[in-house]
Amino acid sequence: MVDLALSDEEKEIRAWVRTFVTKEIIPLEPEALARERRGERGVPPEEMKRLQDLARSSGFFGIQTPVDHGGMGLGAVLTALIEIELGRSFIQFKFGGDADNILYDANEAQQEAYLLPTIEGTRKSCFAITEPGAGSDARAIRTSARREGDEWVINGEKTFITGGTEADFVMVFAVTDKAKGADGGVTCFLVDRDRGWTSAQIDTMGEWGPASLVFKDVRVPHDHILGEEGLGFALAMRWIGRGRYLLPARALGACERLVEMAMEQARNRVTFGEPIAERQAIQWMIADSAVEIEALRWLVLAAAWQVDHGIDSRQSQSMAKLYGGVKANEIVDRVLQIHGGMGYTRELPVERWYRELRLLRIYEGTDEIQRRTIARNLLKGHSSVRGHLG
């Protein structure tokens, strides 16, 4: 049976993060909103670095990074609980000391040049597989790499790449043998920015600032292949599925705080002689949100528990991702409605969350892709409606 009882140490870790968010991150929100209204980054990089250094001084560095690489090596359930606490602010803070999971496939020389500096924070990476014509259908990528002696020449364009404007190297996926298709003809390359690829930020309705990347005759040495030639697609799928449960976990934290704000507003807002908290319509909004928050909590933690126990969690993660995205958007809409006109203004963070949470239904697998995955697994007998214990 699923056992989610936390040890005293785990409770202490969660409590520390909760305090850190309350004392250090949430107080930054008013200024972050003001900066965004001026067209600036909500939290400047130097402030984010200060927070990361402060957390590191208390031992919070590399949440899931293995201990032998200097991290905490925490499991999936505890990581999810930490993400829930971080989600209580719209400021996209993350602890330092992490690196993309597929970078651990790097050889010794590549680890020295890319993995270890990324963990330490002296280098920044980005993951580039999405293209203008290959979003959810990752197998349709057209970026190509042809070999010339000991070098590969890469040509193509990537889009909606997280961290693309800040990264100094990219893990880019390109077709190296069209005849073999995705399962044997796609390769991942580690390409430094000074090799010649360029980036341009894409403006979005939220703080997320992805980039488009252009590769025009970019040359990279053969020994910069990550993993094995032709086997890049498997790496890409492993990166994409590395922790899908963490996205709805952060949304869960947002929903908790948003509903708390809504209840406070409902108690204090008086119309026709009594608080709107006495209105049945408001009570139902709060009740429905509470039920959905609790359901999402168990979807997220069940998926994380499966990860910790080596159980195939792809179905559970897709369910958590789908439900979390849909319900987070419904909940923030209710919260805005409870706040009325003030919720629609930029005086409060509600509209900021309204824009931010909309991304969850697109980012790292759209709702439609999650439904497709869930249905196929059920129809093909890979999963059961009785769950993993069925």
DSSP 74: -
End-to-end CA distance of the chain: 11
Phi, psi of 63 (to 5 degrees): -50, -50
Q: Taking CA 283 as the corner, what is the angle to CA 357 and CA 323, rounded to the nearest 5 degrees?
A: 30
What CA–CA distance (Å, rounded) separates 325 from 333? 13
Catalytic residue from among 9, 278, 364, 368: 364
With a CB cutoff of 8 Å and minimum separation 6, the contacts of 190 are 106, 110, 113, 114, 169, 170, 171, 220, 224, 225, 226
Strand blocks (E) in 162-210: 169-175, 186-192, 198-201
One-letter-per-residue 3-state SS of 207-267? CCCCEEEEEEEEEEEHHHEECCCCEHHHHHHHHHCCCCCHHHHHHHHHHHHHHHHHHHHHH
CA 109 to chain centre: 28
Segment holding 128, helix H or strand E: strand 125-128
Q: Which residue has the tokens 């880019």?
A: 172
Q: Contact, 328 vs 360, CB < 8 A?
A: yes
Q: Is 364 a catalytic residue?
A: yes
Q: Which 3 state secondary structure label does DSSP give 11?
A: helix
The residue type at 222: H
Question: What single-letter amino acid sits at 125?
Answer: S
Facing residues of 240 across strands? none
Closest CA to 13 of 64, 89, 66: 64
**CA-CA distance, 150 to 295, in Å (whole number)?**
54
Tokens encoding 243: 């922790």
Helix (H, G, I), strand (E, B) or coil at 158: strand
Active site residues: 364
